[in-house]
Amino acid sequence: KRLDCPEEGTTSDEHELEADELVQFILALLPDGNAGASIATQHPLIRELKLQLGRTFLQERWFPLFEKYPLLRLALISLARTCCNGCEPNKKTLVQAGIRFRASVPDETFDIPRIETVGDDEPLTTTTSATTMNISGIELWVGCLPKDLNSNSNELMAAEICKLISVLGKFQANAEPAPTSSEQAPVVSSAHANVKEFYKCDVLPKLHELAKECLEIHPTMSERKKGEREVLLCQILSALRVMAIDNDIVQNMVALGIL
């Protein structure tokens, strides 16, 4: 609630610091499945904590914070991935909240050829204002994919976004407990629906360009940097792999030269 109603007299910078401390605290509580803690991520208490965060944080506060505080975006993406990893309800919560959320951003902030579909996936190009774009929450965080890897911050952002795409686009049936008679089991179509939302943001060309840059080895590049680029390339390819769910997307990958 402090995130929604900061104390009187609190500045924007102080509010951002409070939000950062809260995000880091939650990240410290939750095991990261990508760090070898896959067993711990399935513990009933961890799952209940994730579901509570899904209902109170991912659904109501994640996107407003992501829009308001650019410096928190890397940590927020990491938090979203951790909360959604092995938790199908949270994946649905985050994506649906992103579809509903609307953000107004300057034209030059994101280079998103926005595509929507009507009827039988017929493309429909949307227009925007000359100075601002009204975009969804999904477009907001997918649009943070960097255009190049010329800095460590760009590499970190690319890696975290790719890992979040991989988690949201993957159906993790083994991580879900057996549903009770009153519950409906998650289905793989939910993960496919998530991928469709990313595809509308024209994410494939961006991932393709980043993958190509990872393959460029410069003579002055250190062995450590080469290793980091190899890891990032694997994360990009993992995101592309979960995106390949139907003929249209695969044909797009072939046209781009990904396959």
Q: By percentage, how much of the chain surpasses pLDDT 70?
A: 75
pLDDT, position 190? 81
Per the model's pLDDT, the better-predicted residue between 237 and 180 turns out to be 237
The set of long-range contacts for 1-10, using a CB threshold of 8 Å and a minimum separation of 24, is 3/61, 3/65, 4/61
pLDDT at 125: 38
For residues 141 and 110, give the distance between their C-alpha atoms in angstroms, rounded to a whole number: 10
Beta strands in the chain (DSSP E): 102-106, 115-118, 122-125, 132-136
The three-class DSSP label of residue 190 is helix
**Which tokens is 46 given?**
């961890």
| % of the chain exceeding 90 in pLDDT | 49
User: pLDDT category, 121, cuts 50, 70, 90?
Assistant: very low
Return all residues near 116 (Cβ < 8 A) that are at least 6 apart: 123, 124, 125, 126, 200
Q: What is the pLDDT of residues 71-105, one digit of tens each?
A: 999 999 999 999 999 899 999 999 999 999 987 76
- List all residues 6 or more positions away from 46 whose beta carbon is below 8 Å from its beta carbon: 30, 31, 40
Query: How many secondary structure helices (H) and strands (E) does the chain include?
Result: 12, 4
Lowest pLDDT segment from 42-51, 177-186, 203-212: 177-186
How many C-beta atoms surround the C-beta of residue 206 within 10 A?
20
Is residue 62 within 8 Å of residue 97, measured between CB atoms? yes
**What residue type is 174 in one-letter code?**
N
How many C-beta atoms lie closer than 10 Å to residue 86's C-beta?
20
Give dist(CA 121, CA 145) in Å, integer: 25
147 contacts: CB under 8 Å, gap ≥ 6: 111, 206, 209
What pLDDT band is residue 112 in, cutting at 50, 70 and 90? very low
Read out DSSP for 203-231? HHHHHHHHHHHHH---TT--HHHHHHHHH
- Model confidence at 152: pLDDT above 50: yes
Specify the long-range contacts of residues 128-133, CB closer than 8 Å, at least 24 apart: 131/106, 131/107, 132/104, 132/105, 132/106, 132/107, 133/104, 133/105, 133/106, 133/107, 133/109
Q: How far apart are CA 51 and CA 203, in angstroms?
A: 28
Contact 161, 141 (CB under 8 A): yes
How far does Cα 14 stand from its chain's mean position? 26
What's the one-letter identity of residue 251?
Answer: Q
